[in-house]
Amino acid sequence: MRLCAGHEYKKGSCSFTCWAPKAKRLDLVLPGPKEARLPMEHHGQGVWHAAVEDVVPGLRYAYSLDHGPLRPDPTSHLQPDGVHGPSAVVDHTAFRWNDAAFRPPALAEWVIYELHVGTFSPEGTFAGAIAKLPLLAELGVTVLEVMPVAAFPGARNWGYDGVAPYAVHAAYGGPEGFKCFVDAAHGLGMAVILDVVYNHLGPEGNYLREFGPYFTAEHHTPWGEAVNYDGPNSGPVRDFVVANALHWIRRYHVDGLRLDAVQTIHDESVRHILSELSLAVKDEAERLGRPLRLIAESDRNDPRLVRPLAVGGLGCHGVWSDDLHHALHALTTREKRGYYTDYGRAEHVALALEHGFAYRGEYSRFRRAAHGQPPDGVPCEAHVVALQNHDQVGNRMRGERISHLTNIEAVKTAAACVLLSPFTPLLFMGEEWAAAEPFSYFTSHGDPGLIKAVRAGRRKEFKSFGWKGEPPDPQDEATFAACTLDWQAREKAPHAGVLACYRALLALRREEPFATRTRVSVSARALLSGGKEQGAVVMNRTGGGREAVCLFLFAPKTSLDFSALLPAGNFSLVLDTGDDAFGGPGRAFAAPPARRARIPGPRALVLVRETHLEGL
């Protein structure tokens, strides 16, 4: 039995199903001036059921366990009055989809754009976000990654404190709004993946433990007790999570899920919950006749996540590969605290560009242990890499973007590393124009004790990085408002130049034959002079009868021996991030120098030659 929807509405009638093994009696309550309490039938194994006629969409309902207080449905689809209020009936048959002909792009064609609905547009809604989607399609984005939309307390939150995993946050536009968003994205040729949190629930409005053993004291996460995937009565909890994934795919037409922090999903079962989830999604993809993708966020450099189930892997299609971000950040900003302790040399950038993981079993000073495994056999497109994402920006004390921490030319150079790599790139909203707005941590909790604990927790979290001062108050609405993107800025200097550079880099990635997704076509190394690093990396790419030499220069001046860097042949310069068309100081040269030259940086240079005529 796969426990699924809390309710199913069909033509005026509605059936309600709830797993509540802790209850001796369960009442379906229809609040209102004339409150109705309907005893539910127990069908065994803690499953309760009721059917009601003459129901209209939007009808409020709740559950009462053993005559206790009213509680929202654990599988509620909408919480119109907040996470503490009653749930609402949703008619999923009413929406008229227009995406029957849409097919998601192949994974090798993915360019992911991560967005937070509440701060992506001034409106902070799905409708506001829809208005901006044509700009992303024009940029070259092929996949939208939406940060969690599951209902959370208050109106402002990143979404990782969600407590109603099946409900679309009402303030964003609810179920109808999210369906409109997905339908609009598909109409523009972009796929949608949803960020889901299967490692914990938020602390406020979390009533699931009153219904059943959803959590366990045997494992812990950084956010408290872990979800019960392997303890007594864990079967229905596993069903709850797998059915949640199918809920988003079937009812909202999402093309995949980004699984938050899978290293904190604790499961010692014979079949790991990620394997079960992967198998269910695979079966659903076959049933629908379209690909569905699971992207695992993990900081472990663990290739097992993306190896097929048949060879003992967990069957996901993509894995977070943070090493390139960490290496680029440490090299460009010179930050060396926290997990950046392990990075800071050009060699780390080169290793990440060539292998996906820079650490493949080497000792990590930050972790005080060997870190990672070689990603042998893992396709390039399975590595998701980024220069910025919500974690790396938002978990800074003041939510600074990299453009706040180093100069724009260094930012464009680092962006070129990510976008010209053979891996799947992710952009964080506003990155493409070096948005001036921070992305700070914000909440709108109602519990004074929790508010105090969150403030104290943020201060403690920042100690390992040595950041001084007071972080913005997460509970202050001004903290949230300061993060809303200013879309008009993208047309002004210096933002317009950065945007033009991102467009050109994405066009190269999309159109150049050398930009393949195969490991054999890529090699990278740090440039040395007298045995010392020059703060520069060279990456060679080949494919489709074209060969490229990509130079990433992070130092103010770099001495380059072009006779050694460029194989014999007629190379032409196809991109220079320092071009004045990108708001830079101007191209370093019109044609590649014949011998050693000092090149001003930071900048990225892409030199290309034809190879298909050689030997004729």
Residues taking part in catalysis = 260, 297
Integer Cα distance of 501 and 495 in angstroms: 10
- The letter for the amino acid at 479 is T
Integer Cα distance of 489 and 205 in angstroms: 38
Q: List beta partners, residue 542.
A: 547
The CA distances from residue 297 to 197, 263, 360, 408, in Å, are 10, 8, 17, 28
CB 399: neighbour CB atoms within 10 A?
Answer: 21
Integer Cα distance of 595 and 498 in angstroms: 30
Residues 6+ apart with CB under 8 A from 370: 361, 362, 363, 364
Helix (H, G, I), strand (E, B) or coil at 27: strand
Q: List beta partners, residue 192.
A: 144
Integer Cα distance of 333 and 473 in angstroms: 25
Tokens representing 482 are 């300061």
Torsion of CA 293, 298, 301, 302, to 10 degrees: -60
Q: Which of 478, 454, 476 is nearest to 160 (CA)?
A: 454
Integer Cα distance of 456 and 145 in angstroms: 30
The CA distances from residue 208 to 31, 83, 205, 218, 327, in Å, are 20, 12, 9, 18, 41
Tokens representing 79 are 């919480």
- Report the residue count for the chain: 616
The CA distances from residue 80 to 33, 90, 108, in Å, are 18, 11, 39
